[in-house]
Amino acid sequence: MQVTLVQGDITAQQVDAVVNAANSSLLGGGGVDGAIHRRGGPAILAACRELRASHYGKGLPTGQAVATVAGDLPARWVIHTVGPVFSPAEDRSHLLASCYRESLRVADELGATSVAFPAISTGIYRWPIDDAARIALGAIRSAPTQVTDLRFVLFTPDAYGVFERTLGTG
């Protein structure tokens, strides 16, 4: 598996699947979620609503992942995953790691071999990005997957630098 870092907007990535940092409602939000729905168009929200009506009546649980069409995005699929909100009082690292592992499992089910991840939970969900980078890289390194092209798409130079240092420290 080749792991690369990209600085930019995840919605522009030419990959099989783009991972969305969603919330349990699957009905959109800000950050990555807002960008994906804005650029991907209404087909994504329609597919999310269908998932809510069929399999996820109570919403997608934290740490789980589910795929939809990608609408007008260059990608073929969007893999929606719900990251944990950071808590200084409770260690939720296993849930953040699960977002990466479950997204890769869904990618394998789709036959997607190239996947772009955002830095899940490091925005509105306030997870410190250095710790999130450590968890993300640890999770993908230990995940059995057919994905051969895995990209982390970082929105800011600071975020890119954190992932670069974490990737470099093995």
First and final CA of the chain: distance in angstroms? 15
What is d(CA 116, CA 104) in angstroms, rounded to the nearest whole number?
10
Stretch that binds ligand APR, among 54-62, 68-76, 121-129, 138-146 (CB under 6 A): 121-129
Tell me how far apart the alpha carbons of residues 7 and 161 are, in angstroms, rounded to a whole number: 10
C-alpha span between 149 and 159 (Å, rounded): 20
Name the minimum Å distance from CB 82 to ligand APR: 8
Minimum CB distance to ligand APR smaller for 112 or for 133: 133
Helix or strand holding residue 165 (H, E)? helix 157-168
Does residue 33 have an active-site annotation? yes
In the set 17, 33, 140, 151, which binds ligand APR (CB under 6 A)?
33
Q: Is 11 in the site for ligand APR (CB under 6 A)?
A: yes
The crossing angle, in degrees rounded to 10, of helices 129-141 and 93-110 is 40
The answer to the question of residue 122 lying near ligand APR (CB under 6 A) is yes
Nearer to ligand APR, 33 or 102 (CB): 33
Least gap, CB of 135 to ligand APR (angstroms) = 13
**Does 13 sit near ligand APR (CB under 6 A)?**
no
> Judged by CB under 6 A, does residue 95 bind ligand APR?
no
Q: Are 15 and 116 contacting, i.e. CB atoms less than 8 angstroms apart?
A: yes
Answer yes or no whether residue 21 interacts with ligand APR by CB under 6 A. Answer: yes
Q: Contact 86/126 with Cβ under 8 angstroms?
A: yes
- Tell me how far apart the alpha carbons of residues 91 and 154 are, in angstroms, rounded to a whole number: 24
- Sites of contact with ligand APR (CB under 6 A): 9-11, 21-23, 29-35, 83, 118-125, 153, 155, 159
Q: Which residues are catalytic?
A: 33
